[in-house]
Amino acid sequence: MSVTISGSDHSLHHPRFPEFFASVDLDVEDPCFLNWCNGNAGILFDLLGLGRGSSSPAFEGDLHGEAPLADVRRAIVRARATLDRRGPALARPEVTLYGAPRVLPDRTVELRPLRLMSMGLDVEGMGARLDAFERCVNALTERGATHITWG
């Protein structure tokens, strides 16, 4: 599962669905396009104050929501200012889990089959993702977004 960052323009309605606002998206090949795994997104939204445990009305309990551009910009400034203090508590360690030995179709025995590998996220990685998030927000703003959405 993953979370994609995009935007919406609340001054325009969607061309086919007038009950919704116009969406502002980045192309997948755009260097500012962001798509994070759920684990990293949860940590970054917690750091930004837009995620689990926040009092943000935009947060809907899952890793999807929307916030006005001004609130997102304030969250970025606040996250940069508190990264060194709050980051270590949010860090996620690297995890590797192996399964029981198994016989493969060619009759060889794999002694330690890899079952799960999570690369983790440290404070330096959070800082890099925070920079990428800011670039994404700026690119969406240039394209007319009034709100940042994720999901």
**DSSP secondary structure letters along 44-68:** HHHHHTSSTT---TTB-SSS-EEEE
**pLDDT tens digits, one per residue of 62-97:** 688 899 999 999 999 999 999 999 999 999 999 899
Does residue 92 contact residue 121 with C-beta atoms inside 8 Å? yes
| Owning domain of residue 62 | 2-93+120-150
Q: Would residue 11 count as lying in a domain?
A: yes
Q: Would residue 100 count as lying in a domain?
A: no
User: What is the per-residue pLDDT for 51?
Assistant: 64
Q: Would residue 85 count as lying in a domain?
A: yes
Q: Would residue 64 count as lying in a domain?
A: yes
**Band of residue 52 on the pLDDT scale cut at 50, 70, 90:** low
pLDDT at residue 53 greater than cutoff 50: no
Percentage, residues of the chain above pLDDT 90: 65
Count of domains in the chain?
Answer: 1
Q: Would residue 109 count as lying in a domain?
A: no
Q: Would residue 56 count as lying in a domain?
A: yes
**Band of residue 58 on the pLDDT scale cut at 50, 70, 90:** very low
Q: Would residue 134 count as lying in a domain?
A: yes
